[in-house]
Amino acid sequence: MTSNGTAEPGEPAPPDGAAGSAGPAPSNGAAVPGEPLLSVRGLKVHFPIRKGTLLQRVVGHVRAVDGVDLEVRRGMTYGLVGESGCGKSTLGKAVLRLVEPTAGTVVFDGVNLALQGPEPMRRLRRNMQMVFQDPLASLDPRQSVESALTEPLRAHGFPGDRSKRVRELLDIVGLPAGAAGRYPHEFSGGQRQRVGIARAIALNPDLIIADEPVSALDVSIQAQIVNLLEDLQEQLGLTYVVVAHDLAVVRHVSDVIGVMYLGALVEEAPSDELYAEPLHPYTIALMSAIPIPDPEVEERRRRILLTGDLPSPVDVPPGCRFHTRCPFRQPTRCAEESPDLREMRPGRKVACHWAEEIATGTIRAAASAQDPTATEVGAPAVQ
Amino acid sequence: MSLAQVETVAPEETGGGLGRDAWRRLRRNPVAIVGAILVIMFVALALLAPWLAPYPPDKPVGQVTPTSIPGPSAEHWFGLDDLGRDEFSRVLWGARWSLVIGVVSLLLGLVGGMVLGLLAGAFGGWVDGVVMRLVDIMLSVPGLLFAIGIAAMLGSGLDAVMIAIAVVNVPIFARLLRGQMLAQRQSDYVLAAKAVGVRRRRIVLGHVLPNSLTPVIVQGTLTLAVAIVDAAGLAFLGLSSNDPSIPEWGRMLADTQRYLSSAPLLAVFPGLAIIIAALGFTLLGESLREALDPKYRR
């Protein structure tokens, strides 16, 4: 948890302070902080595109996730960012096998999930949970809160008093005990998300994958839910993978951030370092789009505008997948050779052939890619 | 979490689920009220026919000749039929038969259709393929024609009529339920249930099926109307019970054809009865649809 003072305007100051959650939280029992809990290798999710009514043939694949490696250590928060359609949600679901991966392995707490049959996989699910983007859609409209929270307990044979556990869970997520008998449509968005979170923590999981947990919520509610997630991490020793497109949210909660573009990770770095010095051209462009809450600095802020649209994941460009839009594109290598996600510096991984040259300023962004209102053409994009 | 206390549980409504909302919408809809009154009237008359009918429906109670069939009178409200039986009593008893035929054929069709739809919707894959091709074949034959064929095949009798109407409705229910289940299976809450480790069977029976039933219930109400009309149609064409004394609206229509010039009202009464019964179920079904699924509301 990094608390870098990026509180959004209007965000109520958390009474306990996010600073208290720095570093891995004390975990339940034998868990050793820092040990890898989740390890993803070469994960691919390709959806076949079928054509023809009677004899369907596969005419192509949507390469939603196209070879992702990542590691999440226990007790930390891994943020996954990228524009919509880059496959970050699919990646989150594929890790939990809610979407079947096409290739690659997911090792969770030493267990290779791909090798599990349906029933062992089902039992493993108690340790890995998901918080969904749309809290209303992810709750059965005909199910009361009590029933929704009892369901995971029943599915895994929770010993003991289930209705007591339901009251406990409601209390943890800040809902009144009376909420148990109510139905999802009777709640506000933030309350529904609290129910979704209560369901996710019902079985004391190790890992929670939160797929855009706040993007469907009102801005004033977003901060509350983010704080709740942080508090829970501290209390329950949770490990998070937070999928989001909102860079401010991700920066606020994440220890390490992975930037996705068109189904692959292009950069991975500790949260502060990524924002201080993005290395991949795509990340540089993303960061340059964040407004700075200081009018003088904001005035001088240099924006890098990406040209063209996000290519279709059906036709991923050859070579570097970003080269079609890259303002730093070079005549050699970029269009031919696919860059690996390599460790450029300790803790800093980047998938760009020219990352060093871009970082030192040897290679500059093409002038046309920059905001015409900017003054110092050619200067390094982000200080 | 100070705002959490301010943001208290929405007070807009107290307790109850979606059903209560639907009930409220239904009560406010005048079309639903009319439909419900017609249906309640029809069912009440059908159930109470033995006590309400002033005369036995199957015995002549007055003198008639083919050229002089007495019309409505104080004694015989709807007049006498071609065999001298009290037409009012016969229409009342006919409601009873219509209700029996409608309900039994609806239930048979519903059970058959739901079993097929559940199989297709729950398993998908080749089960779905086989079931849906069967459904396509059944649906490719026009409904009444299909029913005539089956009823003729099974021989005469009310059983044959009920089975025929049921079979015609099986593919309609099967396709409806299957489509709903497929749609619901894609929903987030099914994924969420899977994510917490709910067993497959419980997901299908506990989440997907209950959330797929609304249109089936609506279709069931509408099907009662169709079944009553179909039963009358089959009887009109001579596919009905062997026993001519059974007062069945369709047969009553058919039997009075020859006397249309001398006693046109004999066709009007059972015809009106069929229309009113079918209209009641249709109005109720349509307003149920609107109440249960607000997306349909105009």
How far apart CA A366 and CA A305 sit, in angstroms, is 10
User: What torsion do the CA atoms of A192, A198, A200, A202 make, to the nearest 10 degrees?
Assistant: -150
| A314, A61 contact by CB (below 8 A) | yes
Instruction: State residue B8's pLDDT score.
Output: 42
Same domain, A241 and A303: no
User: Residue A40: enclosing H or E segment and its boundaries?
Assistant: strand A36-51
What is the domain range of residue A342?
Answer: 273-369
User: Residue A59: enclosing H or E segment and its boundaries?
Assistant: strand A57-73
C-alpha distance across the termini of chain A, in Å: 24
A172 touches chain B (CB under 8 A): no
User: Residue B214: enclosing H or E segment and its boundaries?
Assistant: helix B209-236
Mean pLDDT, chain B, whole residue set? 86
Distance from CA of B39 to the nearest CA of A (A): 28
Same domain, A169 and A277: no
Residue in this structure with the two tokens 């080749």, named with its chain if needed: B126
Q: What residue segments make up the domains of chain B, in order of their start?
A: 22-296
Pick the last residue of a domain from A254, A287, A316.
A254
Q: In what order do the strands lie in the sheet with A103-108?
A: A57-73, A36-51, A103-108, A111-112
Mean pLDDT, chain A, whole residue set? 84
Instruction: State residue A368's pLDDT score.
Output: 53
CATH (domain of A145): 3.40.50.300
| A349, A95 contact by CB (below 8 A) | no
With an 8 Å Cβ cutoff, the interface of chain B facing chain A consists of 1-4, 7-10, 12-13, 15-18, 187-189, 191-200, 202, 207, 210-211
Pick the last residue of a domain from A254, A283, A300.
A254
Same domain, A241 and A280: no
Cα atoms in the 13 Å half-sphere on the side-chain side of B277: 35
Instruction: State residue B18's pLDDT score.
Output: 65
Of A31-40, A367-376, B249-258, which has the strongest mean pLDDT? Answer: B249-258
| A98, A274 contact by CB (below 8 A) | no
Chain segment B187-239, per-residue pLDDT in tens: 999 999 999 999 999 999 999 999 898 889 899 999 999 999 999 888 888 88
Same domain, A40 and A156: yes
Distances (CA, A) of A81 to A77, A88, A241, A266, A340: 13, 7, 11, 11, 19
Are B192 and A199 in contact (CB < 8 Å)?
yes
Same domain, A137 and A198: yes
A220 touches chain B (CB under 8 A): yes
Instruction: State residue A279's pLDDT score.
Output: 93
Same domain, A69 and A100: yes
How far apart CA B133 and CA B111 sit, in angstroms, is 19
Are B1 and A227 in contact (CB < 8 Å)?
yes
Task: Give mean pLDDT, residues B169-196.
Answer: 93
Phi-psi region of A33 (alpha: psi -120 to 50; beta: other; left: phi over 0): beta
Are A93 and B191 in contact (CB < 8 Å)?
yes
Chain segment B37-95, per-residue pLDDT in tens: 999 999 999 999 889 888 888 888 877 777 777 778 888 888 888 788 888 999 999 99
Chain segment A101-154, per-residue pLDDT in tens: 999 999 999 999 989 999 999 999 999 999 999 999 999 988 999 999 999 999
What residues in A contact B199, CB-CB < 8 Å?
A: 122, 155
From A134, which residue of chain B is nearest by alpha-carbon distance?
Answer: B188
Q: Which residue has the higher pLDDT, B15 or A304?
A: A304
How far apart CA A249 and CA A214 sit, in angstroms, is 9
Pair of tokens at residue A11: 């965000």
Helices and strands (H, E) in chain A, number of each type: 11, 12
Same domain, A129 and A162: yes
Residue A305 lies in a domain: yes
pLDDT beyond 60 at A358: yes
Q: In what order do the strands lie in the sheet with A264-270?
A: A128-131, A207-211, A239-244, A77-81, A256-261, A264-270, A348-350, A342-345
Same domain, A240 and A338: no
| A104, A95 contact by CB (below 8 A) | no
3-state secondary structure of A269: strand
State the total domains in chain A: 2
How far apart CA A286 and CA A282 sit, in angstroms, is 6
3-state secondary structure of B148: helix
pLDDT beyond 50 at A6: no
Residue A200 lies in a domain: yes
Q: Which residue has the higher pLDDT, A11 or A131?
A: A131
Same domain, A211 and A313: no
pLDDT beyond 70 at A22: no
Of A179, A174, A122, the C-alpha closest to A149 is A179
Residues 6+ apart with CB under 8 A from A142: A183, B17, B18, B210, B211
In this complex, the residue of B7, B12, B200 whose CB is nearest that of residue A190 is: B7
What residues in A contact B16, CB-CB < 8 Å?
A: 183
How far apart CA A127 and CA A207 sit, in angstroms, is 6
Interface test with B, best of A138, A162, A232 (most B CBs within 10 A): A138
Same domain, A180 and A292: no
Residue A5 lies in a domain: no
SS3 of chain A: helix, strand, coil, percent, to 5: 30, 20, 45
CATH architecture of B22-296: Orthogonal Bundle (1.10)
Pick the last residue of a domain from A219, A254, A289.
A254
How far apart CA A335 and CA A324 sit, in angstroms, is 8
Residue in this structure with the two tokens 């510096």, named with its chain if needed: A345
Same domain, A315 and A345: yes
What residues in B contact A190, CB-CB < 8 Å?
A: 4, 7
Residues 6+ apart with CB under 8 A from A361: A380
Instruction: State residue A367's pLDDT score.
Output: 59
pLDDT beyond 50 at A27: no
Residue A9 lies in a domain: no
Distance from CA of B196 to the nearest CA of A (A): 5
Chain segment A283-337, per-residue pLDDT in tens: 998 888 877 777 887 777 777 878 778 888 898 899 999 999 888 888 888 988 9
Are A155 and B1 in contact (CB < 8 Å)?
no
B78 phi and psi angles, rounded to 5 deg: -100, 10
pLDDT band at B7 (very low <50, low <70, confident <90, very high): very low
pLDDT beyond 60 at A3: no
The DSSP call for residue A365 is -
Least confident of B117-131, B153-167, B235-249: B235-249
Same domain, A72 and A101: yes
How far apart CA A132 and CA B86 sit, in angstroms, is 68
The DSSP call for residue A4 is -
